Structure formats: C-alpha cells, structure tokens
Amino acid sequence: MSDLWRLQASELARLIQKRKVSAREAAQSALGRLEAVNPIIHAIVEYRPDEVLARADDIDRALARGEVVGPLAGVPVTVKINIDQAGFATTNGTKLQKDLIAKVSSPAVSNLEKAGAVLLGRSNSPTFALRWFTSNSLHGKTINPRNSSLTPGGSSGGGAAAVTAGIGHVALGTDIGGSVRYPAYACGVHGLRPSFGRVPAFNASSPERAIGAQLMSAAGPMARSIDDLGLSLAALAAPDLRDPWHVAMPLIGADVPLRAALCLRPGGMAITPEVERGLIDAARRLTDAGWTVETIDDTPPMVEAGQLQERLWLGDGFDALAQAVAQDGDPGAAAVIAAVRAKVESMPPDVVKTSLVRRTTITRQWREFLSQYAVLLVPVSSETPFPDDLDRQGQAGFDRVWDAQLTMRALPAMGLPALAMTTDIVDGAPIGVQIVAAHFREDLCLRAAKAIEERGVPASPVDPVA
C-alpha cells in the first residue's frame, strides 16, 4: 500500500495494531513520499532510512509477539531540529551547533517512541527559532507546500510543511511565541500548544534555559486532523522526572457548559476582512454543533501579556543571543536582532523580576475569565499568512509582522493552551481560528475544534508545486 502516507495517524495506527498493514510498509510509504516531495519543499533536513526501517521492523516483531506497542504504533513522526533526538545534532538552525550531537532524547521524543512512533526525520527551523519564517544558513529554506509565495510559518515551519505535504503523519514542534500554532495556520493544517507543564521538556545537550523560556515554551504536535492532535498529546504528556515543571494532570477535565466567547479584536487588533469572516464562520459552526457563543468586545489583558512575553523572552540573555547570531551570520536572524534591539535596550535592569510579578496578576485575570467560558475564539494572526520573508523588508515589514502576531506572543506568557486550526482556503491563503482554554483543558480546545472540523476543512495532504 504505497499511499499509506495519506492516512491520518489514528487510522494508520489502528491498521498496524490490527496487523492489516505492517509498520515497515508504513515506513516505506513515508520514506517514498519524503524522497518524492522533500526536494521541492525542503522541510526535512536529515533522515536515516535504515534506522527508520529498523525501528518499524522492531514494532512489527513486537506486535507479532502479542505485545502492546502503544497508541502511535508505527506512525511516522518528524521532530524539530531544536529538540534533542539521540544520535542527531540539535542544530537549532545554526552553524554553531551543527556538531552538537544529542546523547539522549528529550522527554517529548522519548514519549513518542514509548507510544510506538517511528521517528522519520528532522524538520527545519529558522536560526535559533527566532522567526515566523523558516530559513537558515545551515540547512536552507523551507517552502510552503500550499502556496510557495507564503511563509510556511516558524519556527516549526519544517514540521508544518512536512505534515501538510504528507511527509509524516504528525510533526513535533515547540512554541514560545506561536511556533507551533502559526506554522500550522500558514500551511493549512492544525497545531496545538499545550499548557505550561503538560508536556515534559528538557534538552540535555544544552545549558538550562532562562527562566522566561522555561515558563513559556511548550512542545506540541501539528497534524492534519484534530483526532491526531489529541492522540499525539496523550502520548507526549507522559511523565518524565527530568522536567521539574511537569504536572501529571488528567487529559480530560470536568464537564462544563459548552459556552464559548468570540473576540474578533482582542487588544484592539486591526484584523483583515478575511480573518474576520473566518472567525465568524468558526463561531457559527460551534453554534450549529450546540454550543452557546457569546461575542465579547475584549479579553483580559492581551497587549500587556504580549509585552510580558517580550520582556521574559528577550530581557534575559539578549546580548549573548545577539553575539551568537552575529557569529552565525544568518541574515534573517540578524534582522530580528536589529529590529528588537531598541525594545531590549529600553527594558529596566530588573525587567525579569518585575515581569514575573506582573505575570502572576495577569494570569489570575485570565484564569478567572476562562472559568466563565469553556473556550475563547480569537484570531491566530491579524491577517492571512504573510508573504515569505516579510520580516526582512525593513523595519516597516518587521513591525507589520510583530503587531499581527499579538495573540501568538501573548498567550504563552500565561502558559495557556491554544489550538490553531485551518477552516478554509481563500485566494490561495489559509484562514482559521485560534481556540484558547483554561490551564490543562486542552480537551476543551480539542472538543471545540472537532465540532468545527466536522463542518469542513481544507483537504490534506497536498502535492507541492515546484
């Protein structure tokens, strides 16, 4: 069955578990698809076919012995290049780390393997994961398979492009400012940023991250269906003692009224007509599914939350980052450093301390707000996916990107879960909605997204155009 790469992860796993197809057949299909389309989109920067097939054979032998392999049995999954995978370089898109070989896998990768996944390849990312665009001087540029004139998103752009084009059934990414949600949106699929503490994280190859990154970054899946996001989250959330922040909370929470809030312009965002129509359409779909949807004028602090994210992300270690970017020489990363330098220079010396205190207050306000609604619907971005490399078109281009990504930047400051999903393609560009819920209520994000998905989403995977 050479077209196994087309299946959803959940469907493929069921077939393999029932031994109607083999994990080897699934791996061969995935490798064939990778070799056919990756030269066009350059989403995967390293893969080892022999190791992929050997892993698949191990799964087949375990199933033949009657062993329980796991919910992702034989499913090909890609892993972002800033996440430790034993035996591979954690390059983070920089020449400075091209030889930084991970000795052990990160908890998220280990959890995927424990769930039976087959790690297919390493997905591309911008240098130091700094952009909502995906290119670097080490691995090159990733192309959006739906529309080559648009960004594939970033920083998990390689993973989103891969899963959209049928290279792997799930892509593992990381998100500190939209790096899972935005690539999924840009490529026309779906991505889930879990709650802070839901998925254990740790890169043994690298020094401990600054406190802001620890509190805001999350590893999460991108996939072609909402069911596949849920299946992946269950695997990724398994406990791992290496992450002291991990909390083993139930994946399904208490029943709550199916009540949603729709905010078209959180924090006063100026959204395009296409984005507004997409949000209204998503709300109508939820209403059709039996939800109560209330339109609200604004949310708890969004602009200030975005400022907190900037301060916690950039306010600690910026000089070292700027020096590393200069040493690497990537022009995209250098443009980001140049554009945000003034923001950083205006920050007070105690920026991290004061931001952490203020974060507590704003997080409390958001928790109180989300106790009134099962989910909140907001824009993913204030506009449809950007023309590629827009952030390198001078300060005006960068500012347009930065301002459009308010919700991408703000929500991680509180550690909230958020799901970005695509609902339609308009004039060659994906549109969709971002679904936010209370801490550890990813199940509500998934439930709302499933109801929206059942009323139609763009077909995927797609064949990229050279």
Residue 466, pLDDT above cutoff 80: no
Separation CA 90–CA 76 (nearest Å): 20
Is residue 409 in a domain? Answer: yes
Q: What is the mean pLDDT of residues 238-247?
A: 98
Asked whether residue 367 carries a pLDDT value surpassing 90, the answer given is: yes
Torsion on CA atoms 353, 355, 359, 365, rounded to nearest 10: 130
Q: Which helix (DSSP H) or strand (DSSP E) does residue 77 occupy?
A: strand 76-80
Total domains in the fold of the chain = 1
Label residues 440-458 b or e (16+ Cβ within 10 Å = b). bbbbbbbbbbbbbbeeebb
pLDDT of residue 465: 81
Q: Calculate helix-pair angle for 157-164, 23-41, nearest 10 degrees.
A: 120
Choose among 253, 301, 277: nearest CA to 433: 277
Q: Using pLDDT thresholds of 50, 70 and 90, give the confidence band for residue 70.
A: very high
Residue from 267, 271, 332, 280 nearest 306 by CA: 267
Within 13 Å of residue 443, how many CA atoms lie on the same side as its CB? 13
| DSSP-derived pairing of the beta strands 375-378 and 259-262 | parallel
- How sure is the predictor about 392, in pLDDT bands with cuts at 50, 70 and 90? very high
- Measured N-to-C along each axis, helices 9-17 and 226-236 cross at an angle, to the nearest 10 degrees, of 70
267-316 pLDDT tens trace: 999 999 999 999 999 999 999 999 999 999 999 999 999 999 999 999 99
Closest Cα to residue 411, out of 220, 249, 167, 218? 218
What's the CA gap between 260 and 239, in Å, rounded?
Answer: 31
Residue 87 lies in a domain: yes
For residue 224, tell me if it sits in a domain.
Answer: yes
Query: Strands 190-193 and 170-175, how do they pair?
Result: unpaired
Q: Could you report the per-residue pLDDT of 199-218, keeping only the tens digit for each?
A: 999 999 999 999 999 999 99
DSSP 318: H
Q: What is the mean pLDDT of residues 235-251?
A: 98
pLDDT digits over 18-53, tens only?
A: 999 999 999 999 999 999 999 999 999 999 999 999
Is residue 380 in a domain? yes
Domain assignment present for residue 462? The answer is no
316/324 Cα distance (integer angstroms): 14
What's phi and psi for 253, nearest 5 deg?
Answer: -95, -175
3-state secondary structure of 391: helix
Question: Is 0.95 surpassed by the pTM of this model?
Answer: yes
Task: Report the pLDDT averaged over residues 78-107.
Answer: 98
In this structure, what DSSP letter does residue 349 have? T
- CA 208, 213, 215, 217 dihedral sign is negative
Q: What is the CATH number of the domain that holds 77?
A: 3.90.1300.10
Point out which residues pair with 44 in neighbouring strands.
Answer: 123
Q: Which residues contact 9 (CB under 8 A, 6 or more apart)?
A: 72, 75, 77, 169, 170, 223, 225, 228, 231, 232
Tell me if the bond preceding 266 is cis, omega within 30° of 0.
no
Domain that holds residue 47: 4-453
Q: What percent of the chain has pLDDT over 70?
A: 100
> Predicted confidence band at 2 (pLDDT cuts at 50, 70, 90)?
confident
**pLDDT exceeds 90 at position 261:** yes
- pLDDT, mean over the chain: 98
Kindly state the tokens that stand for 122: 């390493």
How many CB atoms lie under 10 A from the CB of residue 298?
A: 12
Q: Does 1 have pLDDT greater than 70?
A: no
Over range 95-100, report the average pLDDT: 98
The 10s digit of each residue's pLDDT in 129-163 is 999 999 999 999 999 999 999 999 999 999 999 99
Residue 251 lies in a domain: yes
Strand 118-123, strand 76-80: pairing: parallel
- The answer to the question of residue 465 being in a domain is no
Element (H, E) at 424: strand 418-426
Residue 349 belongs to some domain of the structure: yes
Catalytic residue numbers read 80, 155, 179
Cα separation of 176 and 199, whole Å? 13
